[in-house]
A = this chain, B = another copy of it.
């Protein structure tokens, strides 16, 4: 069994309204030293197979076609053998 930890993040040039809203909320309750907040998705996918190379190419395809919007988001991942 292999677990993929996938991070889908907005590109730095894209505004993150959810992060901005949380930052404003935290500023309003006194957390003034917060400079920036970005909120991303963290996706854990468990595969019932043990071939790292095969899983890697599947995760790559899944990220490109399903999980990340190539216009606004980037992705990265690591694979862990369980």
Residues in B whose Cβ lies below 8 Å from that of A31:
58, 62
Known pairs A31-B58, A31-B62, A62-B26; A44 contacts B48 (CB<8 A) = no
This chain: copies in complex: 2
Contacts A58-B31, A66-B26 given; does A41 touch B42 at CB 8 Å: yes
Partner of A66, one of B22, B42, B58, B67: B22
Query: How far does the Cβ of A64 sit from chain B's closest Cβ, in whole Å?
Result: 13
Taking CB as reference atom, which chain B residue is nearest A38?
A: B44
Cα distance A36–B49 when bound, in Å?
Answer: 13
Question: In the complex the two chains form, is A66's CB within 8 Å of B25's CB?
Answer: yes
**In the A-B complex, the 3 residue pairs with the closest CB atoms:** A42-B42, A35-B46, A40-B42
